[in-house]
Structure 1
Amino acid sequence: MNWMREVLPLVIVFFLRANLWLSNGVKVKDTARYYVNSPVCKMPYVNPFTADIMSRFHKRKMKGCRTDADMVTSEFDFNTHQYRLHIHEHLARPFLKTKGNATLECEYSDISRNNSADVPDNNYVQSKMHRLTNHVLVPKTTDHIITKCYVRKGHRRRKLIQSDSMSFIQDPLTNDGKVEDFVRKQKVDPQPSVLIMGLDSTSRINFRRTMPLVYDFVKQLGWFEMQGYTKVGDNTYPNLMAVLTGHSRSGIEKVCDVEELGCLDSLPFIWKRFKQANYTTLYAEDCKKINTFNYLMPGFKKKPTDYYLRPLLLAIEDQFPIIKEWGYAYCVGRHLSFKYVYDFGQQFIDRFLGRSPFFGFLWSNSFTHDHYQGAASLDQLFRRYLKSFEDAGLFKRSIVILMSDHGHRYGPLRKAPTGYLEERVPMMFIYVPPWFRKKYPKLAANLHKNRNRLTSNYDLHMTLHHILQLHSRSMAEFPDKYKSQKCKSCQSLFFEVPFNRTCAMAGIEEKWCCCHPSETIPFTPKVAPIIDAMIQRMNRHLVERKFDHLCHNYTLKQVIRMDWKPVLATGLRPADKDEHVYIIEFKTLPNTPEFEATVRWNNRTKALLSMDMDDLSRLNSYEEDSNCINDKIAKKYCICNDSLKK
């Protein structure tokens, strides 16, 4: 049996290396084991297909929302530059036959934003119903409609047989000469359109695991995967605000209170600069309950972009039946929640590609927000949309970004041995078209170099600014007002990112930094003071924020895991041998919430140097714990007094 003890470890090592080799499709080398491999940052490669994860992974087939065909459809009439509605009366024949001498009646009502409401982003206006006749033209002032078709027999009560909704990308470019000017300029100095497509809670690791068809699409020429892209905040809001405004959450708080109506409107969203550059803009996001700028916030006072899906989203989630899957609205009426967003995007592309530069931001939560396996059900449909965008010519003319905000923050993936990276390394792919690669070969070459450099959301923000000033030769040519307010050392990804880049240089706080390997240590009396100080800090925070009358104090129940790593020099200050960073996974009482905290401790002074409660990670669901509080950050750590479990 001695020979088995000697050979078995070798067999295991061979199997693991072979598995890594197969997952990469290349021969294993030391450098292939890192996303980033520099003297100051070593971000380890993670195999998405390890047995412990794949044993739990079960792909579920996408469920349909309907079996009946669309009774009312629309098409864009290029002669009148208006939408025309069609009624497919033959689809009603089975209903009409059962009623004898019956007739089909269809109606529609306009849906628009209620700008006079106290909170316009959470309200909509619905007009009275208008009779819908076949081939009727939709007024150019109409952005969204709800349709209803009935069967009526004589004077009897009508029976509803189908209700539906539609959005319209109305065309303001009919006869003003802008189209001709744009086409002429494109031949001399092309101006790229920009489309950002986002899937919530999708790490680059889980993306490879769950969406092989889409992953295969983005391996084509022109796509660049930023493998060292690291998130800068806990949830969607701080990460997208970094991309879209260049601000951190704390930086925004110094400007205005996002819970006050009008605050978001005052911030420098990147789509404002694109609008100033004569781009046409669009923003669409599914799942009204958790929209990025509306979850526990009032949203925008004014419509943020030229085309905005939210008014329709409010109406259909109010009025149509909803089927939940993967935690949120899956089917809204007859269609997938996801499809409302991407059909809107398809219309936008069809209407303006080649006629006007555009900036579009499409964000989806419905499949991926709560369940890491949901993306697998979406794979085939999402690939079809990408192919449809390709057929429309999007990838010949435009810069396209496929991204996420973060990985899964709780659940099986987060608790896996690789969960630290699963949470912190979101997917990030940037596509540049053939003409761009030919005209700006240096910028494309820099994207290629930056694939395995440490990058962040603030760099992506600067990249979006760079698109509007492609002739810039360095960051020194960017006006200060366009630079990220949080990270002055961050830069466009079209410029080469420094090889020896630290997290501090990329605007990534220690909490989210994946550069330095940590070491698991036992929970001994020696480290007990660190735990005690951490729990005291948590309880003191409740008092400081005046949450102590709503939220219960914490008592330690269990330390699950404790990792240690040294504090490295940042260029701003030297390393202190007595200072260390501890990453502590633990449970408290009551209700047994599970947290992960990153704390800095000085062994010489026995003092807790830093612990940001707002960045405390919650590793299990807090849905039933925090209904007493509306603060979007405190929700993850507050254990409401009225939610205590026996």
Structure 2
Amino acid sequence: MVRPSKMLQTIFLVILCLWVNINGLGNGVVQQYYVNSSVCKMPYVDPFARKLMRKFQRDKLKLCHKDKGIVRSVFDYEMQQYRLQINENVARPMLETRKNATLECVYQKVLRNNTAKEPDDTYITLQSRPIVHQQLVPRDTDFMVTKCYAKDIKNSTELLQEDAMTFIQQMWPSTEKVRSQPSVLILGLDSVSRINLRRAMPSVYKFVSRPGWFEMQGYTKIGDNTFPNLMAVLTGHSEKGTEKVCDTSKPGCLDTLPFIWKRFKSANYTTAFAEDCESINTFNYLKGGFVKQPTDYYLRPLLVAIENNFNVTKRYGLSYCVGRQLSSSYVWNFGKQFIDRFLGRSPMFGFLWSNSFTHDEYTGATALDKLFLKYLKSVEETHLFERSIVILMSDHGQRYNLLRRAASGYFEERMPMMFIYIPPWFRLKYPALVENLNKNRNRLTSNYDVYMTLQHLLQLDSKSMDDFPDDLRAKQCPTCQSLFFEVPLNRTCQMAAIEEKWCCCQPTETIRRSPHVMTIALAIVERMNNHLQEQQLTGLCHNFSLKKVHKVDRKTILSTGLKPADKDEHVYIIEFSTFPKKPRFEATVRWNNRTNKLLDMDVEDLSRLNSYKKDANCINEKKAKIYCICKDSIKQERKLTSARRSLYTLADWFRCLYYRFKF
């Protein structure tokens, strides 16, 4: 006979098991969600999943130099100017190895060439001038390059050290608006998902988990790479929407767009913009750049000058050391000067973006963790967080390599980090707005909402989105809104202007067996080849032939209140590779099982899951680089004869039969 205590335990376990099954839980763990509504279920992802962490690697920070600078700059608060100082103690050991040598240091002023057709890609260096210890830097000097030489008795010189310096020193008078208008500083790290921040940069994550920080856990990107995502944040435009206005590859186009810093400038803010790795700058890589300097302070002229003249060391696939300094240091030091000069004296808007550590390899983030934490603490010491709204964000997560191929890779790519800091005075003055922001942490949000939030900061007396005129709305998302107003719980991706491809709201199931899989994959490849013909790229790019289907997921379309789709229509996420060179792609497509038709697939929306850096040098179209395999990238490649093409086609049909049985 079973004792009552044992019977009760048995009943409890049965009830627990039933509850687990009913709630769809795995491994006895309650299913958690970033967003959980009737129209959007965005599942929680464990950043430290065992299978991924077995392969996850960490890297160490490597500094660019071990010596101290011979020339340094310090700000003279009495004169409100920078001074140059020569540290002879640093130079002395260098001179002692060169008999009877003396030290000679000079500087060259670096300017933006505003008269050039493409000013963003040019610079001017003025004549060298000698540096005198403790000399004042002229107020109109933004950038300079310094060089120190050992000069012998025959007047021969040997370069000992060269450096580059930035100067933000023009002071603005205090105004009443400083007290009423929050300063805004956006700090960006390329390709960092909210998931990977936790595993790769735990020190930084701990910092942004403190009171006052709000993480947008349902924040989802709206485009593939940096340009469309930052355009949405800074202008309210999508990439396709911008193309209807003007050609972004032509100089002058970007100047006509409603960048948010223009509105901040018109509201008497002082503005700044800096981004490292000049060759891939967001608004210059295959783009026309700015003809008119976009902000009051703009780092690009110096970066173009030094990356073309200094010794550049590459790491993580990009410029890592430029001269004696980390590439990213120029951005962060520039930002620190901006904060030092204007915090408490003028409302300021700054946009600081770094690519060098994180753009290509996830391990770069692990090396950056403690260094970036040090930077955050240094700006904290300036009292930035007492007075300003600070946004720490990214454009997207890793788009290829280990993290993208992991089980969580789908979310890894689509969910960039987005943390918003609200200072104490703002929380006290606008408690209702902050409460709305807190509610929105677990609502579906997009880049356009951030744009509207920035707009809101310039009209904080607004009671609702009805107070925003049409010209201040995000052009490609009229229904998007400030995060200081409550986002609807039943919000869909369509309402947030997130396309089906990027939407993470619908749960997926992995398809193990289906007669449609291979047919769909072959139809995708056929569409890709047709696209090459339509774009007249067959002379440069190889036709594709299906190699392998790696994974197929099918979305469970939740009720959206819209007219139901054809019951035979499904959304598939197919991961596959092709010949030649085995590029790996992911396609999100709609397929009708009854008509066997691929619906509305845009080849330019394909995701590339491995690097295309060595495959697409024959073409300068940014989107085409993702899917073009340049013919000249394959050594000793022979032209396909008609017979060989037939063999490829025959092989495709054999693979079709194989996959029909497999799936």
Partner of 1:142: 141
Match of 1:631 among 601, 621, 624: 621
Percent of aligned positions with the same letter in both sequences? 62
- Counting only pairs closer than 5 Å after superposition, residues 152-301 of structure 1 correspond to structure 2 as 152-173=151-172, 178-179=173-174, 182=175, 184-187=176-179, 190-301=180-291
Partner of 1:24: none
Partner of 2:53: 54
Match of 2:540 among 550, 570, 577: 550
Contact 2:39–2:560 under 8 Å retained in 1? no
CA distance in 1, matches of 2:625, 2:178: 49
TM-aligned CA deviation for residue 524 of structure 1? 4.5
TM-aligned CA deviation for residue 29 of structure 1? 7.3
TM-aligned CA deviation for residue 490 of structure 1? 0.7
Contact 2:168–2:337 under 8 Å retained in 1? yes
Partner of 1:42: 41
2:443 pairs with 1:453: yes
Partner of 1:91: 90
Q: Structure 1, residues 555-582: CA drift from partner, whole Å, max 9, x if none?
A: 1111111111244554453333121111
TM-aligned CA deviation for residue 523 of structure 1? 5.9
CA distance in 2, matches of 1:312, 1:185: 32
2:101 pairs with 1:111: no
SS at match of 2:617: coil
Contact 2:517–2:552 under 8 Å retained in 1? no
Contact 1:523–1:559 under 8 Å retained in 2? no
Contact 1:567–1:575 under 8 Å retained in 2? no
Contact 2:591–2:597 under 8 Å retained in 1? yes
CA distance in 2, matches of 1:60, 1:604: 51
CA distance in 1, matches of 2:526, 2:590: 15
TM-aligned CA deviation for residue 323 of structure 1? 1.3
Partner of 1:365: 355
Match of 2:388 among 387, 398, 409: 398
TM-aligned CA deviation for residue 616 of structure 1? 0.6
CA distance in 1, matches of 2:252, 2:559: 41
2:53 pairs with 1:63: no
Contact 2:453–2:482 under 8 Å retained in 1? yes
Q: Structure 1, residues 190-234: CA drift from partner, whole Å, max 9, x if none?
A: 210000000000000000001111111111111000000000000
CA distance in 2, matches of 1:507, 1:570: 14
TM-aligned CA deviation for residue 517 of structure 1? 1.1
CA distance in 1, matches of 2:522, 2:59: 44
TM-aligned CA deviation for residue 552 of structure 1? 1.2
1:223 alignment partner AA: W
CA distance in 1, matches of 2:198, 2:549: 32
Partner of 2:464: 474
Partner of 1:76: 75
CA distance in 1, matches of 2:152, 2:518: 79
CA distance in 2, matches of 1:302, 1:533: 46
2:550 pairs with 1:560: yes
SS at match of 2:547: strand
Partner of 1:412: 402
The more displaced of 632-641 and 559-568 is 559-568
Contact 2:253–2:288 under 8 Å retained in 1? no
Q: How high is the TM-score relative to the length of structure 1?
A: 0.92
* Structure number, greater radius of gyration: 2
Q: Structure 1, residues 14-35: CA drift from partner, whole Å, max 9, x if none?
A: 9xx9xxxxxxxxxx9746x111
Q: Runs of 5+ in structure 1 lacking a partner? A: 1-9, 18-27
1:315 alignment partner AA: A
Contact 1:285–1:363 under 8 Å retained in 2? yes
SS at match of 1:109: strand
Contact 1:567–1:576 under 8 Å retained in 2? no
Match of 1:507 among 493, 497, 509: 497
The more displaced of 287-296 and 545-554 is 545-554
TM-aligned CA deviation for residue 75 of structure 1? 1.4
Q: Structure 1, residues 467-525: CA drift from partner, whole Å, max 9, x if none?
A: 00111010000011111111111100000111111111111000001111111113644
1:411 and 1:446, CA in 2 relative to 1: closer, same or farther beyond 3 A?
Answer: same
CA distance in 2, matches of 1:221, 1:351: 27
1:105 alignment partner AA: E
SS at match of 1:164: strand
Match of 1:577 among 567, 585, 588: 567
CA distance in 2, matches of 1:29, 1:459: 33
CA distance in 2, matches of 1:601, 1:567: 13
Contact 1:568–1:574 under 8 Å retained in 2? no
Q: How high is the TM-score relative to the length of structure 2?
A: 0.90
RMSD in angstroms over aligned alpha carbons? 1.8
CA distance in 1, matches of 2:559, 2:526: 29
Contact 1:122–1:298 under 8 Å retained in 2? no
Aligned length: 613
Contact 2:40–2:558 under 8 Å retained in 1? no
TM-aligned CA deviation for residue 186 of structure 1? 4.2
